Structure 1
Amino acid sequence: MSADVDVLVIGAGQAGLAVSHELSVRGLEHVVLERDRMGSAWASRWDSFCLVTPNSAIRLPGGAYRGGDGDGYLPRDEIVDHLTGYAASFGAPVAERHEVDLVEPDETGFVARSAAGDIRARRVVVCTGAYQRPHRPAFVDELARRVPVVVSAEYRSPGALPDGPVLVIGGGQSACQIAEELHRAGREVTLAPGRAPTMPRRIDGRDTFEWLEEAGFFEQVLADQPSPTVRLAANPLATGAGGGHDLSLRTLAADGVGLIGRVIGVDDGRLVVADDLAQTLAVGDDGFRIICDLAKQAAASRGMPAPNTPEPLDAPVDAAEVPRLGDLGVVLVACGFRPAYDWIDVPGAFDGGGFPVTDADGSPAVDGLWFVGVPWLRRRKSPLLIGVGEDAAIVADRLA
């Protein structure tokens, strides 16, 4: 495939499709390239994966959720179906199985190089997200020499893992959701968590997402945060599994999942674990209270009675025995993701953390390079199904 185009969109997830919709509305010629298939980032999740935000939060431009279960949580395959149906609804010009190996400026704008041929474009909108590469701590290589290691991006179901006890390393949503699923499937599970806030699934009968939205939580901007490292911070623990229920380190411990401190290395064939479980639990508890306070603020701002907010579980949680590596059947690593934009050859386009540097005119490093779907691009909600459409419309207006 070789052609010249006005706007080249790279990535056909919710960000790329939202951009395509807004470009189509404005009559701008464009092509969307997708290295796999539409919605592949969702399709690659584990078999039982579902949204952690309610279906009503799917608000893509021209592609909002219109089903009969706005309070539910779409499962993986239905998320993909929604995106493919969305693309079909406006005839998105998507070329699947077309991986871009390199983007670089040329005399007319940009050239995207791939095995299928080069494409030249006046402008480029990158919509591949900011978390493309699984984070693999240095000690994982040593673990892999002693016990099978699976990263969360490779996990599909409990039955697909080697037999035996499981150590899950990571404390974000994926780690906790997978640990819960493994435990409920009858596996012996030990979780070595990082630190993440906790939240109730519902407050006073309403999904906590709705309270947070009304409190302006998703409108927050990066400049108001204590540090740019918030872009790598864990999201509040939540699950939509089974219709949605509370999920936290404390609920996991109450169910029988063993909790230990953060893994910091391997020494002489043994796990080295920090004595920090109490502090990790405290971070979750603090987040729980902060989120409940935000719900009260949202109610007060609307002249509503304060909601009845729950208290986090407070039963003592003792650290479990650190498992011996020889006793484990598998280690599952779910330590988050990091940016991977090494295929974009534009000096100065990314900061020290690997995230795009942007302003109102796109990338200040080169004219015509834009990004959509990046966490905190404009607001906290920028990559989410609730907010990506707003950024897509802003960029499309600028391009028009």
Structure 2
Amino acid sequence: MENNKKHPYINVVVIGAGIAGLCTSYYLKKKKIDHIVIERGEIANTWNNERWDNFYLVNPNWAMKIPEFGFYSDHFPSKNPDGFLNKSEVVSYIKDFGNFIGSKIYVNENVENISKDENNYIITTSKRKISSKNIVIASGAFGNAHIPEMHKMLDRNSFQIHSSKYKNSNELPDGDVIVVGSGQSGAQIAEDLLDSGKRVWLAVSKCGRRPRRYRGKDSSWWNYKMGSFDKTVKDVPFEERWSCSSHTSGSRGGHDINLLNLYEKGLSLCGSIKDCKDNFVYMNNDLYKNIKFSDEYALNWAKNVDKYIKNKKLVAPKEEILADPRIKKTSLQSITKLDISKNKTSIIWATGFRYNFDWIDLDITDENNHPIQNRGITKYAGLYFMGLQWMYSSKSAQFIGVSEDAKYIVEEIEKKL
């Protein structure tokens, strides 16, 4: 570190000590490029503080492709390629990777602002100001927790949290729970609550499901072989990139999540949320349509696997997924409203995330508030992003692909030094 006229100068500053920031630091260290990492909380902060206690990764261990720290390395905490890491294992794994890299990581230091003077970027943190010509923003894949504005219309005494704040059923008030949104997080949290003995409602949105295993292999393995992870922003239209993630689970060794199976175990299903007012949550009449979509998604996914097996002349066990006979319009009629005051119903909003880069005093976002970038490279020389969902490909924010983008970004930085 050396001083310029105004602030201490650092060649490269990486913001965020999650897996994206650490992979970036790994390649910077390999190329002996001077840098530091600044983290608002602790290493693996989001994984530790914004996941529920019984969280498991959805992709199997073999898909952990972190440089020198992947599944086939001596550092990996499991020898089972088809196993799934739980929350505490993921947190320890990322922290161990950070220690392995050995870079300067400053924790509990929040970056509050980034601006630019004539020559350098000025980074204002909760502890200091830093000058740099190169910044890699790896502050999270998804952004900030998003709860629809309609939640403000509910009674002020109602208990409401975002799914990122849910830890376990014991931390919720006594009474029922309604989970809003049936993507991966919503469906898994609903199952977790049901297993704990809670009476649970799930407001079902338009999300597909996929079997955990099919024709002898994990569904993630088939997706990997069929090139799903390698699809880039050039292959998939913008609106399709943000469709709901198909639900399955890595808990209990990996298993299917079929909402109708959970319904038979006691989960109450209703349509997606239309509105809220006082003590009432109002539902759309789309339960049948959304459950049918989920089932058709699984059927189409299986057909694509069958086609791939046939075209590649692979040997695989015979298996067939049939349309679920329980999906009948007459039996899948949603309630139209729910009085949350009757059974002291808590609400968990599994309604996703939104980017917010208002703390950067530069024109870096588009009309959707997404960063304007091309594989992490922005129009501002020396300003980069890392680890964004669909930054370049469908695996850009995942353990299976984040290191590829990190390597690319560091090579770009090296060219300009």
Q: Would you say same fold, with TM above 0.5?
A: yes
Count of residue pairs brought into register by the alignment: 397
Task: Indicate whether 1:51 and 2:57 are aligned.
Answer: yes
CA spacing shift, 1:315–1:97, aligned 2, 3 Å: same
CA contact (8 A) 2:154 2:280 kept: no
- Give the structure 2 partner of residue 187 of structure 1: 198
- Give the structure 1 partner of residue 4 of structure 2: none
CA spacing shift, 1:341–1:314, aligned 2, 3 Å: farther
Q: CA deviation at 1:204?
A: 1.9
CA spacing shift, 1:310–1:343, aligned 2, 3 Å: same
Once the two structures are superposed, residues 317-375 of structure 1 have per-residue CA deviations (whole angstroms, 9 ceiling, x without a partner) of: 5235443222242111111111121111111x1111111111268102x1111111011
CA–CA separation in structure 2 for the residues paired with 1:243 and 1:254? 22
Residue identity opposite 1:332 in structure 2: I
- Superposed counterparts of 1:219-368, under 5 Å: 219-225=230-236, 227-267=237-277, 269-305=279-315, 308-311=319-322, 313-316=324-327, 317-319=331-333, 321=335, 322-329=337-344, 330-347=346-363, 349-359=364-374, 362-364=377-379, 366-368=380-382
Once the two structures are superposed, residues 17-74 of structure 1 have per-residue CA deviations (whole angstroms, 9 ceiling, x without a partner) of: 0000011111111111110011111101111111111111111122212331221111
Once the two structures are superposed, residues 282-317 of structure 1 have per-residue CA deviations (whole angstroms, 9 ceiling, x without a partner) of: 221222123212322432343204652433533135
CA contact (8 A) 2:286 2:334 kept: no
Task: Indicate whether 1:138 and 2:149 are aligned.
Answer: yes
Residue identity opposite 1:363 in structure 2: T
Could you tell me the TM-score, scaled by structure 2's length?
A: 0.91
CA–CA separation in structure 2 for the residues paired with 1:334 and 1:320? 19
Query: Which deviates the most, 137-146 or 155-164?
Result: 137-146
CA spacing shift, 1:68–1:244, aligned 2, 3 Å: same
Residue identity opposite 1:24 in structure 2: K
CA–CA separation in structure 2 for the residues paired with 1:383 and 1:298? 26
CA RMSD of aligned residues (A): 1.8
**SS of structure 1 residue aligned to 2:42:** coil
Once the two structures are superposed, residues 224-244 of structure 1 have per-residue CA deviations (whole angstroms, 9 ceiling, x without a partner) of: 22x412343211101111111
- Give the structure 2 partner of residue 68 of structure 1: 79
- Superposed counterparts of 1:26-37, under 5 Å: 26-37=31-42
CA–CA separation in structure 2 for the residues paired with 1:159 and 1:315? 33
CA spacing shift, 1:89–1:233, aligned 2, 3 Å: same
- Identity fraction in percent: 28
Q: Which runs of 5+ in 1 are unaligned?
A: none
CA–CA separation in structure 2 for the residues paired with 1:350 and 1:91? 33
Once the two structures are superposed, residues 184-214 of structure 1 have per-residue CA deviations (whole angstroms, 9 ceiling, x without a partner) of: 1111111112111110011123110000000
CA–CA separation in structure 2 for the residues paired with 1:92 and 1:296? 46
Could you tell me the TM-score, scaled by structure 1's length?
A: 0.94
Q: CA deviation at 1:107?
A: 2.3
Q: CA deviation at 1:391?
A: 0.4
CA contact (8 A) 2:9 2:131 kept: yes
Q: CA deviation at 1:385?
A: 0.2
- Give the structure 2 partner of residue 8 of structure 1: 13
**SS of structure 2 residue aligned to 1:60:** coil
Q: Which runs of 5+ in 2 are unaligned?
A: 2-6
Query: Which deviates the most, 274-283 or 304-313?
Result: 304-313
